[in-house]
Structure 1
Amino acid sequence: MAKNILIKPIISEKAEMLSETTNQYSFIVNQKANKVEVKKAVEEMYSVHVASVNTMIMPAKARNRNTRSGLIKGRVSSFKKAIITLADGEEIDFYGDI
């Protein structure tokens, strides 16, 4: 179940800053998943206690790229992002297996 809801963690500068300062972690989740399902999936997969879940749908964007043959137009798909706030004293280690 958790594998279908949680697609992948977001690892960016902003996400790292949130995890260090406010104990919040960002994930790309299934578009049809609700907050309760996301909370259960994170608690099941990482064995932590989730204090709150905030979700948002990031809109699709048009992108252009210059190549030798000319301009290539494309788009980036929309996705659902969840920001998980963990209880005090808990953390998720994404790099533990490396």
Structure 2
Amino acid sequence: MSKNPSHYDVIVAPVVTEKATTAAEHNQFVFEVARKATKPQIKAAIEGLFDVKVVGVNTLVTMGKTKAFRGVRGKQSDVKKAVVTLADGHKIDVTTGL
């Protein structure tokens, strides 16, 4: 599949945490996506960018926390994440750049 430039607008970054790395062992990969991205758009972007077969997409929105830094109160940004399940035999290496 072709690497459409609009796919880069949907997928913001891979999430590289201990929990996401553990999920990768079960063919699930976690990506930070645009707030307005839909599940079909996320599926098309992953299949187009990485040339894999996506079985399912689950999304969640983590609301930003209110924090104080050096006495100044602020709010962290809201983040939308997508957990992408791949078909058997397909893998994504998130350590390499596109």
Question: Where does the alignment leave 5 or more consecutive residues of structure 2 unmatched?
Answer: 1-5
**Greater per-residue strand proportion:** 1
Structure 1: gaps (5+ residues): none
RMSD value, Cα: 1.2
Amino acid at match of 1:38: I
For the residues of structure 1 that align with 2:10 and 2:95, how far apart are their CA atoms? 21
In percent, how many aligned pairs have the same letter? 36
Q: 1:34 to 1:73 in 2, by over 3 A?
A: same
Structure 1 residue 60: Cα displacement:
1.4
Partner of 1:12: 17
Report the equivalent of 2:30. 26
| Residue type of the alignment partner of 1:87 | A
Q: Quote the residue 2:79 is aligned against.
A: 79
Shift of 1:72: 2.8
Question: Structure 1 runs of 4+ off > 6 angstroms?
Answer: none
**Shift in Å, 1:32:** 0.8
Letter in 2 for 1:93: D
The normalised TM-score by structure 1 is 0.87
Match among 3, 7, 20 for residue 8 of structure 2: 3
TM-score, length of structure 2 as denominator length: 0.87
Aligned residue pairs: how many? 92
